[in-house]
Amino acid sequence: MDISLKINGSTEELSIEPGVTLLDALRERLSITGPKKGCDRGQCGACTVHVDGRPVLSCLTLAAVVRGEVTTVEGLSDAERLHPVQQAFVDQDAFQCGFCTSGQIMSAVAAVEQDVTDVREFMSGNICRCAAYPNIVAAVEQARRSDATV
Amino acid sequence: MRPFELTAPATVDAAIATPGAFLAGGTTLVDLMKLNVLTPHHVLDINDLPLRGIDTRDGLRFGALERMSDIAAHPGVYPVISRALLASASQQLRNMASIGGNLLQRTRCGYFRDVTMPCNKREPGSGCPAITGANRMHAILGTSESCVATHASDVAVALVALDAEVRLAGAGGVRTVALADFYRVPGETPDVENDLRPGELITEVVVPRLDWAQRSTYVKVRDRASYEFALCSAAVALDIQDSRVVDARVTVGGVATVPWRLTEVEAALRGVPATVESFEAAASVAADGAKPLSGNGFKVSLLKRTVVRALIEGSRG
């Protein structure tokens, strides 16, 4: 079936099988490889992207049912300057192997935007096998402090 | 995942006229299709249907496609409902999953999810390995010789406590069913989980007005602090006047095959002082009739303690 996806400010036309997930469409068809395939069953959060500004799991989303605007980690910065959340992850050393990081950042952006009270609870849908959790929480807190000046 | 046809009906009538599996948030359906537990030939993407809206003017009405996160964040929703929603899944999943789909989510029993294993729910008559196998997470109430799988929803527990109803649209017209009657215990037919007729669709969830449900809460006990299914949970609402319990609602989850209303606990609470001692006395019958399995005997005492804790926290309003 033919679908149209709005991703990071551009529109992409694709011909896909109905069972293709948004994650596979992004990675395999559009070479947008920021979203990672960790568990591929909605448990690890490495595939987190935004649809209309809300974090969702692209591995449990069929590409053909997406109606909104998709933002991946590639769409956060303007290429000149990192997004404040990305900068905070660098500053706070909030990753080790980096595999979960793009998903962590997409959730962290929403945590900052929503000004959540319980960062650890909000971020619990993003698993980090390196257990960089204290630094991830520190990055969210830094980004939250810097948010007013963005 | 098996090949399937995907269409997006524009009206409820078109949706219920087409045999297939309804897809809203997809968090259960796509997951189970990947595992080949569900293999629909036709998937109906119902996200264009006009089943939206959160109305809190007289009781609560949720369009079936409203997402868990939006209902949880709505200021007019009873605390027990928003807390149950926020204790569920992860924020990403709550952004995706609809309230209608939440009520129809399938059990997390590992044997149900593994197509290489027998399972009476997935393949009637094939057997239930959980009864003698890995059953720590399984039910102690409402079980049968054929199935001991727990019902996985948190918010369904809160909704049953508040006498919620679901509106259903189908070929035979529209009908309303109490959520407590909607769910079926497994008995001899664990594959039949609810009262839905073929093609029927949940269109709306209705919670009758209950002013004293502003004093309500949801306690969820689980293996991790977040993002885990319940070992045991309790939804309570308390009408307390002059330090005495006038009325109470108590429903538990994580321990039963359906959201489990504890009417005898509710009866024992009416008229007693709102004290820890009364709550403990009332909760002493919470696990009556329980049939613990080899791996989940701890749930008998955990159930009573969870109810007591929920009553204590609930009574603080």
pLDDT at A147: 57
Say if the Cβ atoms of B226 and A124 lie within 8 Å: yes
Chain A contacts to B (CB-CB under 8 A): 1, 17-19, 21, 40-42, 45, 48, 54-57, 60-62, 64-65, 67, 107, 110, 120-122, 124-126
Contact status, residue B12 vs residue B171, Cβ threshold 8 Å: no
To the nearest whole Å, the CA of A68 is away from the closest chain B CA by 12
Identify the residue whose tokens are 């309303």. B176
Q: Which domain range does residue B269 map to?
A: 213-315
Within-domain flag for B22 = no
Interface test with A, best of B43, B70, B91, B105 (most A CBs within 10 A): B91
Rounded Cα distance, B179 and B162, in Å: 10
Of A54, A60, A125, the CB nearest to B227: A125
- Tell me the CB-side half-sphere exposure of residue B279, using CA atoms within 13 A: 24
Instruction: Compute the 3-state secondary structure of chain B and give helix, strand, coil in percent, each to the nearest 5.
Output: 25, 20, 50
Chain A nearest-CA residue for B95: A56
How large is the angle between the packed helices A84-91 and A133-146, nearest 10 degrees?
140
Q: Which residues contact B148 (CB under 8 A, 6 or more apart)?
A: B128, B130, B131, B135, B138, B139, B186, B257, B293
From the CB of residue B223, how many other CB atoms can be counted at a distance below 10 Å? 10
Say if the Cβ atoms of A110 and B91 lie within 8 Å: yes
CATH number reported for the structural domain that contains residue B219 in this entry: 3.30.390.50
pLDDT at B278: 98
A67 contacts on B by Cβ (under 8 Å) = 47
Say if the Cβ atoms of B90 and A67 lie within 8 Å: no
Rounded Cα distance, A122 and B233, in Å: 20
To the nearest whole Å, the CA of A121 is away from the closest chain B CA by 6
Rounded Cα distance, A100 and A71, in Å: 17
A65 contacts on B by Cβ (under 8 Å) = 6, 8, 23, 26, 45, 47
Interface test with A, best of B90, B108, B228 (most A CBs within 10 A): B90
Architecture of domain A84-149: Orthogonal Bundle (1.10)
The encoded tokens of residue B265 equal 């606990």
Burial category of B287 from C-beta neighbours within 10 Å (exposed 0-12, middle 13-18, buried 19 and up): buried
Q: How many domains does chain B have?
A: 1
Rounded Cα distance, B193 and A3, in Å: 35
Alpha carbon of A64 to those of A68, A117, B8: distances in Å? 11, 35, 10
B5 contacts on A by Cβ (under 8 Å) = 18
Q: What is the pLDDT of residues A86-140, one digit of tens each?
A: 999 999 999 999 999 999 999 999 999 999 999 999 999 999 999 999 999 999 9
Q: Is the pLDDT of residue A68 over 80?
A: yes
Given pLDDT bands bounded at 50, 70 and 90, which one contains residue A79?
A: confident
Q: Is the pLDDT of residue B140 over 50?
A: yes
Question: Average pLDDT, whole number, for chain B?
Answer: 98
The encoded tokens of residue B226 equal 């977040």
Of A42, A55, A126, the CB nearest to B31: A42
Instruction: Give me the mean pLDDT over the B20-35 stretch.
Output: 98
Q: What ipTM is given for this predicted complex? A: 0.97
Q: What is the pLDDT of residues B59-107, one digit of tens each?
A: 999 999 999 999 999 999 999 999 999 999 999 999 999 999 999 999 9
- Helix or strand holding residue B241 (H, E): strand B232-241
Rounded Cα distance, A86 and A88, in Å: 5
Strand order across the beta sheet in which B216-221 lies: B216-221, B232-241, B244-253, B260-261
To the nearest whole Å, the CA of B159 is away from the closest chain A CA by 23
Contact status, residue B120 vs residue B146, Cβ threshold 8 Å: yes
Q: Which residues contact B69 (CB under 8 A, 6 or more apart)?
A: A54, B85, B91, B94, B95
Identify the residue whose tokens are 């706070």. A92
A60 contacts on B by Cβ (under 8 Å) = 26-27, 30-31, 93, 96
Within-domain flag for B128 = no
Instruction: Compute the 3-state secondary structure of chain A and give helix, strand, coil in percent, each to the nearest 5.
Output: 40, 15, 40
Say if the Cβ atoms of A60 and B225 lie within 8 Å: no
Q: Give me the phi and psi of A94, to 5 degrees please.
A: -90, 30
CATH topology of domain A2-75: Ubiquitin-like (UB roll) (3.10.20)
Q: Taking chain B, what is the end-to-end CA distance rounded to the nearest angstrom? A: 47
Say if the Cβ atoms of B4 and A110 lie within 8 Å: no
Q: What is the pLDDT of residues B44-55, one digit of tens each?
A: 999 999 999 999
Say if the Cβ atoms of A55 and B95 lie within 8 Å: yes
Say if the Cβ atoms of A19 and B45 lie within 8 Å: no
To the nearest whole Å, the CA of A49 is away from the closest chain B CA by 9
To the nearest whole Å, the CA of B70 is away from the closest chain A CA by 11
Q: Where are the beta strands (DSSP E) in A1-138?
A: 2-7, 10-15, 48-51, 54-57, 69-71
How large is the angle between the packed helices A101-114 and A84-91, nearest 10 degrees?
120
Q: What is the pLDDT of residues B219-262, one digit of tens each?
A: 999 999 999 999 999 999 999 999 999 999 999 999 999 999 99
Say if the Cβ atoms of A61 and B96 lie within 8 Å: yes
CA-nearest of A130, A59, A101 to A109 is: A101
The encoded tokens of residue B293 equal 């399995």
A41 contacts on B by Cβ (under 8 Å) = 31, 34-35
Identify the residue whose tokens are 């300057």. A81
Q: Is the pLDDT of residue A148 over 60?
A: no
* Domain spans, chain A: 2-75, 84-149
A30 alpha-carbon distance from chain centroid: 16
B42-45 and B5-7 beta bridge pairing: parallel
Say if the Cβ atoms of A42 and B69 lie within 8 Å: no
